[in-house]
Structure 1
């Protein structure tokens, strides 16, 4: 049995899947066959880094985007060597270039893998699994199957859900784009067409600047509940730690008050609030886990929109572009919610209930694009693989329906709460348990830890 290869299947070849594969290929010394299943032809890119728009910049400077925490300058060195010797650590670079870097890291890791380690990427889609005593069989859309001892669900983000309205028939219209990253989202428009983007977060910003890059001159409306845009990054000095998990307030109210007071005092001293928020990064997961279930729900209901725009910021260059669009009146931001749609041959009249007043404002647009953010509730996904896993009670959502119920080692819990020895995950599906889990910094660390867990001998489980 010792000489039989360990078979691992990774479902999803975006950033998360590529980094798990990278660390498995680099560290495996025993016989290993690694299957990486991804429907897109380019591995390592996913949605975020597969963009074709040069205006889509990383939200983190190059000096902090290494694929390896133990080699923090790896991406920067790659950029200087392969692309541009003038790049600096504080440069915000195009996401498409970062996707090329991750792809190269994976290819290099496969090339230097140990002799008994085989890498078998598949351009295909996993649609079902069937567990058995030795592991499981993975069924692919092509009709082929893969047998594996361990399976990693590196699923990334799913499309957003349709915003609630009284009459949802418009969501079947060709003028409505439910998935902002679909190929037709920004095609087929006249440059002067008015467009409505539902949402005002990072996805809305991405689509607004992409429209600008392709020469769009028409009005772009953004509508969200609070009407807040992500703030811009600025370079600040490191802020001394003012909270520790052991001494931090254990209630959301107390925690919120202490952070707000620290921000106010830092601004009074001439510091930047960003440095205060950034100082929380190393302990955010612990602070989240210390909250009661009720406080986590209150955070999601009342604090989340404000946390998101302060924590998940855009590059200065993108912020400048958005600022110019706002000043010119090309981008119009509204706080409120979509109340109703009325479509005719000329376009769509969208009725928006404005926040605080309840007044109805009617926007006349040619296209409506849903930019509200990824759906997280695994009870609602209709992807064949997720439906299949649910039907077998192999997965369950976390208590907040932010992702999956996942153990500390990355193993997925089934419907009875039993920790799997077969299914694992990382990144977005762990949001309910960790909250801070979708950035490169967290994903690369989870990939390292998960690769170690997976390489334990199946016979020792």
Structure 2
């Protein structure tokens, strides 16, 4: 039976779109299908936001989708703004390379780069087609990969790539659900928040970047009441600043291999930076390019220790908030409207009155208590454990042993070249993965630069 495509990409957010761009740039003729249920490619969960206040958490100089041109987004923004686009950019009052663009606008940038790549590919006879459906199942045989879609179609291709992106906890059905999402507001749904009493008390579970987005959404909806935030460690993301360059101490000293060694040396450099009047974020930013190497060479015990003891502080220091959003959170906190409490969410409570009740256990206390509010927002971040994601494709692949959980149940397991490992540890010759599904392999596998580099490497592997 003939194949419908040379390469089938499952997911058309940033990961899938960037892979298509890299494939179109390669010499040769090939047919590419992107199966994505959203009407638009290049947006996914992260870049479908429509509010200007929901911005990237990295400035333009850090967010290029072209691994060969770190200034690509800066150059695109320069042209876009000169043509009259995004007039609000002047409010940030910084050079274009230091702007934090709205996530929706970043989606437009990704789409334009795909359109350009399509024109390049067309010169060699390569095509990309968007199939607007969800992949429900995947099977392989000796000759091809067969996909079953939500619209009843079946597609057959020489190989398939799992570019499913992120599963935000607030929007992802859980296999073992507490009912939290059914009772909670979407963190990005400003229209729904406008239906609240502006003075109502809002409860938020989680204090990471999704919480920051939720606070921005509430502000744009006109909310002026109290906001109670509960997270296990009570840590807020630091504001992202633009520190000067710092020596690449990890590149200079290859003897640093374990998480303990990294933390000790990083603290030393941060103290040295502060003593010199340099922002502590400068030494921390040099670590980024070495994370994949350090994580992959660590033992399972070391990785587990890092996740258990260091992860909350790594997330709050490394995954930082854009300046305008951070300033809003700081202002509301200073006004007493926003309170951060170190407490674990223990479940929903029946409530006969208007509003919602949750049970929490504050850190350091053995007893739980009930907290009431008019509304609840789930800002607990990303669900990386595919065993908990109640979507047809992850559950089918796991049930039939075509994939296995990644290290520490983060994403799925794969070989270094992205080939998916089955339940017996065998690398597939036809099914690959990239981006957030490989979180367990590389730890940082979600940022734009990570995805761009993986897309280029995987495109070369597939073409080869």
Q: Same fold (TM over 0.5)?
A: yes
Alignment of structure 1 residues 50-69 onto 2, 5 Å: 50-69=48-67
Distance 1:318 1:172 in 2: 25
Alignment of structure 1 residues 367-378 onto 2, 5 Å: 367-378=375-386
Distance 1:394 1:200, change over 3 A: same
- Give me the TM-score of the superposition, normalised by structure 1: 0.91
Q: 2:296 aligned with 1:289, yes or no?
A: yes
Cα pair 2:3 2:157 within 8 Å, conserved: no
Moved more, 382-391 or 230-239: 382-391
Cα pair 1:6 1:31 within 8 Å, conserved: no
Cα pair 1:4 1:31 within 8 Å, conserved: no
Cα-to-partner distance string for 1:208-227 (whole Å, 9 max, x where unaligned): 11110121112221110111
Moved more, 115-124 or 79-88: 79-88
Moved more, 76-85 or 398-407: 76-85
* Matched length: 448
SS of equivalent residue, structure 1 residue 369? strand
Residue 115 (structure 2) aligns with: 107
Distance 1:4 1:13, change over 3 A: closer
Residue 43 (structure 1) aligns with: 41
Residue 285 (structure 2) aligns with: 278
Residue 21 (structure 1) aligns with: 20
Deviation, 1:325, is 1.3
Cα pair 2:3 2:144 within 8 Å, conserved: no
Distance 1:228 1:173, change over 3 A: closer
Q: 2:83 aligned with 1:75, yes or no?
A: no
Alignment of structure 1 residues 244-283 onto 2, 5 Å: 244=251, 247-283=254-290
Cα-to-partner distance string for 1:379-403 (whole Å, 9 max, x where unaligned): 2222111122123211001131011
More helix by share: 2
Distance 1:393 1:123, change over 3 A: same
Distance 1:417 1:42 in 2: 35
Deviation, 1:360, is 5.5
Residue 456 (structure 2) aligns with: 448
Alignment of structure 1 residues 307-318 onto 2, 5 Å: 307-318=314-325
Cα-to-partner distance string for 1:328-367 (whole Å, 9 max, x where unaligned): 2222211111345242222223343222345766432122
Residue 139 (structure 2) aligns with: 130
- Give me the TM-score of the superposition, normalised by structure 2: 0.90
Cα pair 2:170 2:187 within 8 Å, conserved: no
Unmatched runs of 5 consecutive residues or more in structure 1 = 163-167, 457-461
Residue 86 (structure 2) aligns with: none
Distance 1:65 1:159, change over 3 A: closer
Distance 1:331 1:106, change over 3 A: same
Moved more, 60-69 or 349-358: 349-358
SS of equivalent residue, structure 1 residue 332? strand
Of 400, 408, 420, 1:400 maps to 408
Distance 2:372 2:45 in 1: 30
SS of equivalent residue, structure 2 residue 296? helix
Unmatched runs of 5 consecutive residues or more in structure 2 = 84-89
Distance 1:423 1:278, change over 3 A: same
Residue 241 (structure 2) aligns with: 234
Cα pair 2:194 2:222 within 8 Å, conserved: no
Alignment of structure 1 residues 152-171 onto 2, 5 Å: 152-160=161-169, 171=179
Distance 1:383 1:416 in 2: 23
Of 435, 450, 459, 2:443 maps to 435
Cα RMSD for the two superposed structures? 2.5
Moved more, 3-12 or 168-177: 168-177
